[in-house]
């Protein structure tokens, strides 16, 4: 009888510990997604400053700046991990073109706001 109670107690303890671990892992996943969202929001908030800085130096490169703004707006309004990933990839590509634009203008490259 004591052996049976010991086995039942061990199984109950195992189930409790497993449940607690699963809950903790679920919380960590939720926190990780929240951290990603915060980083993406911060990135999205800094893009208008970068666009304004570049506008002063490269007014004739309007299409590059418009692409960055469109990509940013698409990234902000994206819902779900799949859409967010696609929108962030498009934003990264347009920002890469913007950085290349900065390299084409030495005065812009030296500007602290652009850096």
- Residues 6 or more apart whose Cβ sits within 8 Å of residue 61: 54, 101
For residue 115, pLDDT beyond 70: no
Structural domain for 101, as ranges: 2-109
Residue-wise pLDDT for 8-36, tens only, equals 999 999 999 999 999 999 999 999 999 99
Is 115 within a domain? Answer: no
Q: Are 84 and 99 in contact (CB under 8 A)?
A: no
Instruction: Supply 113's token pair.
Output: 């706001």
- Residues 6 or more apart whose Cβ sits within 8 Å of residue 88: 40, 75, 78
Predicted pLDDT at 21: 97
Predicted pLDDT at 108: 55
Is 64 within a domain? Answer: yes
Is 114 within a domain? Answer: no
When divided into structural domains, the chain yields a total of 1
Is 27 within a domain? Answer: yes
**Cα 96 to the center of its chain, rounded Å:** 16
Is 81 within a domain? Answer: yes
Residue-wise pLDDT for 36-91, tens only, equals 989 988 988 888 887 777 776 666 567 777 788 888 888 888 888 888 888 888 88
């Amino acid at each position: 009888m004591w052996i049976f109670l010991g086995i039942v107690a061990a199984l109950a303890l195992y189930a409790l510990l497993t449940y607690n671990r699963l809950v903790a892992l679920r919380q960590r996943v939720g926190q990780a997604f929240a951290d990603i969202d915060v980083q993406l929001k911060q990135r999205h908030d800094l893009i208008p400053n970068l666009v304004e800085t570049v506008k002063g130096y490269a007014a004739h490169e309007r299409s590059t700046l418009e692409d960055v703004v469109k990509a940013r707006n698409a990234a902000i309004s994206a819902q779900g991990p799949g859409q967010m990933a696609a929108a962030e990839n498009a934003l990264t590509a347009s920002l890469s073109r913007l950085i290349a634009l900065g390299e084409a203008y030495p005065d812009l490259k030296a500007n602290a706001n652009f850096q």
